[in-house]
Amino acid sequence: MSWLLLILAGLLEVVWAAGLKHTYGFSRFYPSVIVLSAMALSLLLLSYVIRSLPAGTAYAVWSGIGAVGVVIIGIVWEGEPATPARLFSLAMIVAGILGVKLFSH
């Protein structure tokens, strides 16, 4: 159950990190509410998960999901480049996340 909550926390990190741009410095109400809510829930879930998983493992997976997710959103919706080097780098992050998960207790 902890791993599922950690994945959900990571996906919420994607929501707030990708949405941050749309708040315009928190000057737009609804995007700001969505971003702040996703931030709070993401951190709440992360803090819950680290009671049963090692903090370093949980944080690495959480931040990795966030980083990969935001880059993918940037490529798909924001028109950022999807160069081979960039995609390879994303694959390395995913490999690192899987490695941290597989080799944790």
* Res 102: pLDDT: 85
Domain extents in the chain: 1-104
Tens-place pLDDT, residues 10-33: 999 999 999 999 999 999 999 999
pLDDT in tens, 49-76: 999 999 999 999 999 999 999 999 999 9
pLDDT averaged over every residue in the chain:
95
**For residue 105, pLDDT beyond 70:** no
The answer to whether 64 touches 93, Cβ cutoff 8 Å, is: yes
- d(Cα 30, Cα 62) in Å, to the nearest integer? 25
Alpha carbons 57 and 79: distance in angstroms, whole number: 32
Residue 100: pLDDT over 90: no
